[in-house]
Amino acid sequence: MAGLKDADDFKDGEHFKGAGLLKFVLGIVGFGGMALFLLLAFFWKDKTPEMAYSWLFAVVFFLSLSVGGLFWTLLHHASNSGWGTVVRRLMENLGSMIPFILILGVPFLIEGCGFRNALWEWFPEREAALHSAEVETEAHFAEYKADLEADVAKADAEVKAGEAAISSQPNLKPGEKRHLEDKLQVLKKQAAELGEEDLSDDAGLRAKLKDDYFREEAALLHAKQGFLNEGSWFVRYLLYFIGLTGVIFILRGWSIKQDRDGDPKWFLLMRRWSCGFLPIFAVSWTFLVFDWLMALDYTWFSTMWGVYLFAGAALNSMGLLVIVLTLLRRAGYLKNVVTMEHYHLMGKLMLAFTIFWAYIAFSQFFLIWYANITEETKFYLTRNTDFWNVYTITFLVIGHFFVPFAALLIQKFKMMPAVLSGIAVWNLIMHSLDIYWIIIPERGVSLTNGTQMTMPGAWLFDLLAFVSVAGIFGFFLLRQLGSASLFPCRDPRLDESLNVVN
């Protein structure tokens, strides 16, 4: 009550300086590690397939944190929130990591890297099936065409025979005549159907025959070819990039413009457009995880996949925000801007999303476990075999849910930056183990055709990839933090946010 803060006192913002050494070290570790990793992947051909999984793991983990930042920015505007204006710039900065991380996914696009075919079997399998269909078509086309021509001729002959049978017997009883006429109708229909085939169109006939062979060869890939084909895969990657990057850059751009001119129209624009941007975010992220993660085994599917990955992303980017905020405050920034009330609110959101993640993760497991349908249980069977079973129970059930749930229930913990950051770090570790659990069990099974659950020693690649991408992520995050005020200093809602009480 006493001493309400006035937003006018804060209109110059706070600018993040320094941390040059840290940025330098992170840059060296990140880019150096990435160079080492990619060189290893390029020259150590035996290990390239294993390293593909490591790279996917690291990229998806950091991408999920960035996408979470985008989600919180959008949600903040769309729900017309006032509490979080002081931390909104941090959300925007986190979201603006998306293009940098998506660019790290470029090795997946280049077939020559060997990453793509090792990760997503449907690429090589589809190619092989199409190739063998092509070979079969070449071998059997003449035969096929001859058969078709013979069929057409035969049908025509049958029609003629039928007509002759009716006209040659003038004394037929009405019933017999009717019977023959009916038969003739059927024959005519058959002949007409066959006659629709354009026998002179060799290319069309070839395509039809090839499609038949493709279906015979790989029925599932044939059924899913509308989604699982190279062309649309590349187009989708491009759309994710444009969609996710475009949304966060527009919002962050408006927000920074408002810092300069203080015009509330930017605030209104952000609020209005965020509702429209939310579906872009939701569709992009959902299909991205379909393409990158669910397609690791193209025979498996889950309708809760998108929301499962979203829950983890939202929870942990909130955790990362708390950590970044605490470190910034340690370094002397935002001391007078962010209060324990903000920590409390962010802690509450962490608790809510801890529960939400568990709810979604359990529901997905529960429905598949109970229905017990072969094509669905595959995912969990792999992840309940060998040491993955203990892993799941320890890290996902206890570590990812029960521990942070119990800790975050305590009100005091949510108002203590150090404790809340500790919980957030714990959550981040569990999230990395969650992403690891989604991607890595597929590695042994896919690469050894099911004879091995794990690849010995491959965890070193996982670690190297993780550290490299972490370094790059940290480097760009520090760069983005320094590029604008640490909070939207001339937002109309700043007053409300500075004095928030909950």
Partner 1 sequence: MSESTDSSKQLFGYVAEFSSAADLYHAAEKVRDAGFRKWDVHTPYPVHGMDAAMGMGKSWLSALVLAGGITGSCVALFMQFFTQVNLYPTVVQNKPTNLFTLPAFFPVTFELTILLSAFAVVFGLLVFLMLPRWNHPLFESALFRKFSDDGFIMVIEARDPRFKKEKTREFLETIGASQIEGVEY
Find the part of the chain contacting partner 1 (CB under 8 A) among 53-61, 258-266, 360-368, 433-441.
Answer: 360-368
Distance in Å, CB of 371 to partner 1, minimum: 8
C-alpha angle 280/225/195, rounded to 5°? 130
In order, the DSSP letters of 242-272 are HHHHHHHHHHHHHHHHHHHH--HHHHHHHHH
Please state, as a whole number, how many other Cβ atoms lie within 10 Å of the Cβ of residue 164: 10
Q: Interface with partner 1 includes 3 (CB under 8 A)?
A: no
Output 163 or 341, the one with its CB closest to partner 1. 341
Find the part of the chain contacting partner 1 (CB under 8 A) among 20-28, 88-96, 204-212, 366-374.
Answer: 366-374
Output 355 or 467, the one with its CB closest to partner 1. 355
Distance in Å, CB of 377 to partner 1, minimum: 12
Distance in Å, CB of 234 to partner 1, minimum: 40
Output 362 or 437, the one with its CB closest to partner 1. 362
CA distance 177 to 198: 33
Q: Interface with partner 1 includes 411 (CB under 8 A)?
A: yes
Q: Interface with partner 1 includes 366 (CB under 8 A)?
A: yes
| Strand (E) or helix (H) holding 361 | helix 340-371
Of 309, 242, 247, residue with least CA distance to 78: 247
Q: Interface with partner 1 includes 385 (CB under 8 A)?
A: no
CA distance 252 to 242: 15
Distance in Å, CB of 401 to partner 1, minimum: 12
Which of 168, 200, 303, 372 is the binder for partner 1 (CB under 8 A)? 372
Q: Interface with partner 1 includes 369 (CB under 8 A)?
A: yes
Q: Interface with partner 1 includes 362 (CB under 8 A)?
A: yes
Of 93, 97, 98, residue with least CA distance to 483: 93
Distance in Å, CB of 454 to partner 1, minimum: 24
87 Cβ partners below 8 Å, 6+ apart?
321, 325, 338, 342, 346, 487
Find the part of the chain contacting partner 1 (CB under 8 A) among 147-155, 196-204, 367-375, 468-476.
Answer: 367-375
Residue 256's SS3 state is: helix
Residue with tokens 């109970």: 370
Distance in Å, CB of 317 to partner 1, minimum: 26
Output 308 or 365, the one with its CB closest to partner 1. 365
Backbone Cα Rg of the chain = 30
Distance in Å, CB of 384 to partner 1, minimum: 10
CA distance 460 to 51: 10
Q: Interface with partner 1 includes 370 (CB under 8 A)?
A: yes
DSSP assignment, residue 96? T
Output 44 or 366, the one with its CB closest to partner 1. 366
Of 132, 276, 271, residue with least CA distance to 209: 132
Distance in Å, CB of 365 to partner 1, minimum: 7
Contact 471/58 with Cβ under 8 angstroms?
no
CA distance 246 to 369: 39
Which of 110, 238, 409, 463 is the binder for partner 1 (CB under 8 A)? 409
Chain residues in the site for partner 1 (CB under 8 A): 1, 362, 365-366, 369-370, 372, 409, 411, 501
